[in-house]
Amino acid sequence: MHYHNDQGAYQSAKLKKPKEEEQNEWLVTYADAMTLILGFFILILSMSIINQNRFEEVAQGLNDGLLKKEQEIKPLKALNANLKYTLLQHSILPQDALEMGDNYLKINLPGSMLFATGSAELGSKSKKLLADIAHNIEGFELPDFNIEIEGHTDNIPINTPRFPSNWELSSSRAISVLHVFLAQGIDGNKLKAIGYADTRPTAPNLDAQGNPIANNQQQNRRVEIKIAKNI
C-alpha cells in the first residue's frame, strides 16, 4: 500500500508540473504585452510633450498679440464710457456725439452749442463742457494717441474783418477749443487744430434744386475732437 501511495504522489507531481509551466508562460506573455504598451505610451507622451511645447509657443504669441491690441483699445473704451456720462450731464445725447472706431474715438459737438453765429468766442457753458471733456481725456494714459480738433462750417459764406472766409472761422474755432484743452493740462505736443471750412460736410448743404437745407447746414456747423492712435 505504501508503494502505491508513493507511486500516486509521483504521478500527481508529474501532472502538476505542466500546469505550472503553462502559468509561467502566461506571465511571460503578459509581461511582454505590458512592456509593449508601456513603450507605446512613452512614445505618445514624448510626442505630446513636443506638441504641447509648440502649442504653448503659438498660444503665447496669440495671447501677446491680443493683449497688445487690448492695451491699445481698452483706454478708448473706458474713455468712451466716461464721456457718455459727461455728455449727458450737459444734455448731449452720447449716441449723437460719440463715434468709436478700432483705434480712434471721435466727439462731435454742434457749433451752435459752442459758438454764436459768425463767432469763435466760447461762452461760459461751452468752456465748462470742453473743460469737462478735456479733463476726462487727460485722466487716461494715451501715450500713442494724438488729439485732433477740427473746425467745420456750412456753405454760407462769411466776410468780416476778422473772418474773411469760412477757412479763418473754422480754424479760429478749432484753436479756441485747443486753448481750453491746454488749460486742462493736456500736452500741447499731442494737440492739433485744423480748419476745414465747408469742405467736409456730413450732409448735403443744398438739395437737388440748389436750395439750402437748413437742418443739414446746422449739422455741418460743428467741432470734431478726434483721439486717434498715432500710426
In a domain, 23, yes or no: no
Statement: residue 140 has pLDDT above 60: yes
Query: Which H or E run includes 33?
Result: helix 2-89
Look-up: residue for cell 494715451?
142
Length of the chain in terms of residues written = 231
- pLDDT at position 21 is 54
Statement: residue 169 has pLDDT above 70: yes
Over its C-alpha atoms, the chain yields an Rg (Å, rounded) of 40
Which residues fall within 8 angstroms of residue 97, CB to CB, at 6 or more apart?
87, 107, 108, 109
Statement: residue 10 has pLDDT above 60: no
Secondary structure of residue 92 in the 3-state scheme: coil
- pLDDT at position 135 is 94
CA-wise closest residue to 153 among 60, 90, 215, 222: 222
CA distance 189 to 66: 29
In a domain, 176, yes or no: yes
- pLDDT at position 35 is 75
- The overall longest dimension of the chain from CA atoms, in Å, is 148
CA distance 218 to 213: 9
- pLDDT at position 137 is 93
In a domain, 206, yes or no: yes
Compare 175 and 3 and report the one with higher pLDDT: 175
CA distance 170 to 224: 11
165 φ/ψ angles, rounded to the nearest 5 degrees: -155, 175
Average model confidence (pLDDT) across the chain = 83
Q: What is the pTM of this model?
A: 0.68
In a domain, 37, yes or no: no
The parent domain of residue 192 ranges over 73-229
Statement: residue 60 has pLDDT above 90: no
CB 79 within 8 A of CB 137: yes
Statement: residue 118 has pLDDT above 80: yes
- pLDDT at position 36 is 75
In a domain, 153, yes or no: yes
- pLDDT at position 6 is 52
Q: From residue 147, give the alpha-carbon distance in Å to each of 1, 13, 69, 141, 193.
A: 119, 102, 20, 13, 9
Task: Give mean pLDDT, residues 186-205.
Answer: 96
Statement: residue 110 has pLDDT above 70: yes
In a domain, 50, yes or no: no
In a domain, 150, yes or no: yes
Statement: residue 29 has pLDDT above 90: no
Statement: residue 26 has pLDDT above 70: no
Percent of the chain with pLDDT over 90: 61
Query: Which H or E run includes 135?
Result: helix 124-138
CA distance 58 to 28: 45
Look-up: residue for cell 503665447?
60
Statement: residue 19 has pLDDT above 60: no
In a domain, 58, yes or no: no
Statement: residue 95 has pLDDT above 90: yes
- pLDDT at position 195 is 98
Compare 23 and 135 and report the one with higher pLDDT: 135
Statement: residue 112 has pLDDT above 90: yes
Q: How many domains does the chain have?
A: 1
Report the CATH number at residue 203: 3.30.1330.60
Query: Which H or E run includes 229?
Result: strand 222-229
